[in-house]
């Protein structure tokens, strides 16, 4: 049974990589994991979701009412994108870049619309990684 679960976890990881949810950075994190710290990647991902929830909330607040500070929005998204990149959250990172393009164009509607997609990718990845880590245990 344990071998089957491990195979399912390996298949799920391959699927997350193939579908573009994750990139090679996630593999690099897993390479840092060892017997001394067997839950390293899961702990890093949990920290990411704890920290990034603050970024998401701050961006939501900044998008609610004008006047809009596009430089500030861009900076917040830059930080969020960097955190996302550190765990290999490829799709989230891609949507963050799109948001930054709308910031540069000073397009608030574009920012709002793409931010919904950022949050959707973020939530989808969180659910998928939670499942993956349960299989890994």
pLDDT number for residue 65: 84
**Residue 124: what are its φ and ψ, rounded to 5°?**
-60, -45
Residue 105 has pLDDT above 70, yes or no: yes
Band of residue 72 on the pLDDT scale cut at 50, 70, 90: very high
pLDDT number for residue 24: 97
Contacts of 95 (CB under 8 A, 6+ apart): 114, 117, 118, 121
pLDDT number for residue 101: 98
Exposed/middle/buried for 68, CB within 10 Å: 0-12, 13-18, 19+?
middle
Residue 7 has pLDDT above 60, yes or no: yes
Task: Kindly tell me the sign of the dihedral angle through the C-alpha atoms of 137, 22, 75, 118.
Answer: negative
pLDDT number for residue 118: 98
pLDDT number for residue 5: 86
Band of residue 74 on the pLDDT scale cut at 50, 70, 90: very high
Enter the pTM of the model: 0.93
Band of residue 1 on the pLDDT scale cut at 50, 70, 90: low
Q: What value does the mean pLDDT of the chain take?
A: 95
Domains of the chain, first to last: 2-136 (1.20.120.160)
- 114-129 residue pLDDT tens: 999 999 999 999 999 9
Contact 32, 46 (CB under 8 A): no
Angle at 66 between CA 111 and CA 85, to 5 degrees: 35
- 23-57 residue pLDDT tens: 999 999 999 999 898 899 999 999 999 999 999 99
């Amino acid at each position: 049974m344990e071998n089957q679960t491990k195979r399912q976890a390996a298949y799920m990881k391959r699927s997350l990589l193939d579908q573009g949810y994750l990139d090679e950075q996630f593999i690099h994190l897993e390479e840092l994991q060892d017997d001394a710290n067997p839950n390293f990647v899961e702990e890093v991902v949990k920290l990411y979701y704890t920290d990034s929830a603050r970024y998401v909330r701050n961006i939501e607040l900044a998008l609610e009412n004008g006047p809009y500070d596009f430089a500030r929005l861009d900076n917040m998204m830059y930080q969020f994108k960097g955190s996302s990149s550190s765990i290999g959250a490829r799709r989230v990172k891609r949507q963050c870049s799109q948001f930054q393009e709308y910031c540069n164009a000073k397009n608030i509607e574009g920012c709002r619309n793409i931010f919904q997609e950022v949050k959707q990718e973020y939530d989808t990845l969180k659910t998928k990684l939670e499942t993956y880590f349960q299989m890994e245990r």
